[in-house]
């Protein structure tokens, strides 16, 4: 490949404009020393725009850190670097310059993800969980398949050969994936796949039976690519709104740990985040049956079932529109205390928080999720809620 063609591919990669074929050519070309030198020259030009180049300690620290990450991976969920498989190792000089730029400007870090993703099929089986964990740090929704393949739902996903073979359609503008509902596409089986949403992102999927599920931020839905004749079953972590296609002969089941929710055709919302001891199910239309190993409960429209440990409490929702306000890109709080508000904000914004026991403030209001965290905090401040910021940490007092 000529240097001119490689330069075009490099620019196309940085602008997110490469097709899958072009991306493969770009990554293959990175094996050639002449093209590694081109990348070096690009990185050096970016280094001139920073003040870190003159700091040898910074350079060495960034370099050694990247070598460690690429060699052994990382358990840090905040890392965006995936370990490269043994089949591909770039020169130490290129890695050294890449470490500087990744640490200081983050411009080129996506290349390492693409390289790892390209070689994922040759990675050992025990590396699949680590790869999935590290893709979480990319802050894009994605679909993980049972064979370890991962499709990040960005602009490149529209050209995904895997999605094309499945007959799936992706709508980036409306953040929606639609599986085929007529017949069974070639190569499709009932093997599970998982849709994952990161912090600050929502996504919906229309399943093979025509049912649609909307996922809130930091949620996961495991589903079969094609429902088998034996039943319709999915599993949820986080929060999801379900609009189930009626089928009297084939109930739809949602698994949340040891609890199962069974429906024939209805609309309901489930909130079951990891780390939250309570599971909340709100029924908007129809009827559902909620059960575990010991109990069965029939929920009617307008009712809310709160499961906290061994306690099951049923109440009527004051306003079901509040429960599903998140689907309309809204935070909707009604005399909510900070211990209710902040977990929801932390799932949307990259923040942590501290609420001392003596703080008992409440807040009522609707806030667009399109607002940045500074705007949200200013709104809380106008309701006499006091805080101070320590970086990404919000301390209330």
**Same structural domain for residues 337 and 287?**
no
**Same structural domain for residues 291 and 337?**
no
319-357 per-residue burial string, b: 16 or more CB within 10 A, e: under 16: ebeebbbbeeebbbbeebebeebbebbbbbbebebebee
**Same structural domain for residues 173 and 292?**
yes
Q: What's the pTM value of the predicted model, to 2 decimals?
A: 0.67
Phi and psi, residue 264, nearest 5°: -105, -40
Phi and psi, residue 172, nearest 5°: -65, -35
**Same structural domain for residues 195 and 111?**
no
**Same structural domain for residues 288 and 210?**
yes
**Same structural domain for residues 349 and 378?**
yes
**Same structural domain for residues 144 and 286?**
yes
Residue whose token pair is 């960034």 = 62
Q: Within a 10 A sphere around the Cβ of 280, how many other Cβ atoms?
A: 17
Domain that holds residue 370: 329-396
Q: In a structure prediction context, what are the per-residue pLDDT tens digits for the chain, which is 397 residues long?
A: 787 788 888 877 776 677 767 777 877 787 677 777 777 677 656 555 544 444 444 444 444 443 444 344 444 433 333 333 333 344 444 554 444 444 433 344 455 445 445 444 444 444 455 455 555 545 789 999 988 888 999 888 888 889 988 899 999 999 999 999 865 444 455 789 999 999 999 999 999 999 999 999 999 999 999 998 888 999 999 999 999 999 888 999 999 988 999 998 899 999 999 877 789 999 999 989 999 888 888 998 889 999 988 889 998 866 889 999 999 999 999 999 999 999 999 999 999 999 999 999 999 999 999 999 999 999 999 999 999 999 999 999 9
**Same structural domain for residues 334 and 308?**
no
Residue 117 to residue 32: CA distance in whole angstroms: 19
Residue 134 lies in a domain: no
Per-position DSSP letters for 138-153, written without gaps between them: G-S-EEEETTS-EEE-
CATH number at residue 201: 2.60.120.1440
Boundary (domain end) residue, out of 129, 149, 168: 129
Quote the tokens at residue 93. Answer: 């000089």
CB-count exposure of residue 119 (10 Å: 0-12, 13-18, 19+):
middle
Residue 355 to residue 336: CA distance in whole angstroms: 14
3-42 per-residue burial string, b: 16 or more CB within 10 A, e: under 16: eeebeebbeebeeeebeeeebeebbebbeeeebbebbbeb
Q: Interior CA angle at 199 toward 134 and 174, to 5°?
A: 110
Q: Tell which phi-psi region holds residue 210, choosing left (phi > 0), alpha (psi between -120 and 50) or beta.
A: left
Residue 15 lies in a domain: yes
Q: Strand 303-308 relative to strand 259-263: parallel, antiparallel, unpaired?
A: unpaired
Residue 51 lies in a domain: yes
pLDDT of residue 30: 73
Residue 26 lies in a domain: yes
Residue 135 to residue 55: CA distance in whole angstroms: 31
Q: Strand 387-390 relative to strand 393-396: parallel, antiparallel, unpaired?
A: antiparallel
Number of domains in the chain: 3
Instruction: Identify the helix (H) or strand (E) that includes residue 376.
Output: helix 373-381
Boundary (domain end) residue, out of 322, 343, 370: 322
Quote the tokens at residue 392. Answer: 């990404």
Alpha carbon 223 to its chain centroid, in Å, reads: 16
Beta bridge partners of 150: 144
Per-position DSSP letters for 66-96, written without gaps between them: HHHHHHH----TT--PPPPPTT----HHHHH
Beta bridge partners of 153: none
**Same structural domain for residues 351 and 246?**
no
Boundary (domain end) residue, out of 129, 152, 175: 129
Residue 36 to residue 1: CA distance in whole angstroms: 13
**Same structural domain for residues 80 and 154?**
no
Contact criterion met (CB below 8 Å) for 149 and 130: no
**Same structural domain for residues 179 and 314?**
yes
**Same structural domain for residues 233 and 151?**
yes
Alpha helices by DSSP H, listed for 151-220, are 161-166
Residue 31 to residue 17: CA distance in whole angstroms: 21
Residue 132 to residue 150: CA distance in whole angstroms: 8
């Amino acid at each position: 490949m000529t240097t001119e063609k490689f330069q075009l591919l490099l620019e196309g990669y940085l602008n997110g404009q490469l097709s899958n074929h072009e991306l493969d050519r770009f990554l293959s070309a990175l094996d050639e020393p002449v093209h590694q030198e081109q990348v070096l020259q690009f990185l050096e030009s970016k280094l001139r725009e920073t003040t870190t180049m003159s700091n040898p300690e910074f350079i060495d620290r960034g370099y050694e850190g990247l070598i460690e990450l690429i060699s052994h991976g990382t358990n840090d969920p905040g890392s965006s670097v995936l370990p490269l498989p043994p089949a591909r190792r770039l020169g130490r000089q290129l890695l050294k310059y890449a470490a500087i730029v990744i640490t200081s400007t983050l411009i080129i870090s996506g290349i390492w993800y693409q390289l790892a993703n390209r070689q994922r099929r040759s990675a050992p089986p025990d590396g699949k969980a680590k790869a999935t964990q590290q893709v979480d740090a990319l802050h894009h929704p994605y679909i993980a398949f049972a064979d370890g393949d991962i499709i990040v739902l960005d602009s490149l996903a529209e050209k995904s050969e895997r999605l094309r073979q499945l007959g799936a359609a992706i709508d980036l503008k409306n953040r929606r994936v639609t599986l085929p509902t007529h017949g069974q596409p070639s190569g499709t089986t009932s093997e599970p796949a998982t849709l994952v949403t990161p912090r600050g992102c929502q996504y919906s999927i229309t399943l093979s039976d025509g049912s649609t599920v909307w996922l809130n931020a930091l949620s996961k839905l495991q589903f079969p690519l094609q429902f088998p004749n034996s039943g319709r079953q999915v599993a949820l972590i986080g929060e999801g709104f379900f609009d189930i296609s009626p089928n009297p002969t084939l109930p739809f089941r949602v698994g949340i740990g040891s609890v199962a929710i069974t429906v024939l055709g209805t609309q309901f919302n489930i909130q079951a985040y990891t780390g939250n001891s309570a599971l909340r199910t709100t029924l908007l239309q129809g009827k559902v049956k909620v059960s575990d190993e010991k109990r069965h409960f029939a929920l009617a429209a307008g009712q809310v079932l709160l499961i906290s440990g061994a306690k099951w409490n049923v109440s009527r929702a004051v306003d079901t529109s509040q429960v599903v306000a998140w689907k309309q890109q809204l935070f909707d709080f009604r005399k909510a205390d900070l211990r209710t508000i902040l977990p929801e904000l932390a799932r949307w914004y990259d923040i942590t928080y501290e609420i001392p026991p003596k703080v008992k403030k409440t807040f009522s209001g609707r806030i667009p999720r399109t607002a940045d965290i500074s705007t949200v905090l200013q709104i809380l401040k106008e309701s006499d809620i006091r805080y101070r910021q320590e970086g990404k940490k919000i301390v209330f007092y």
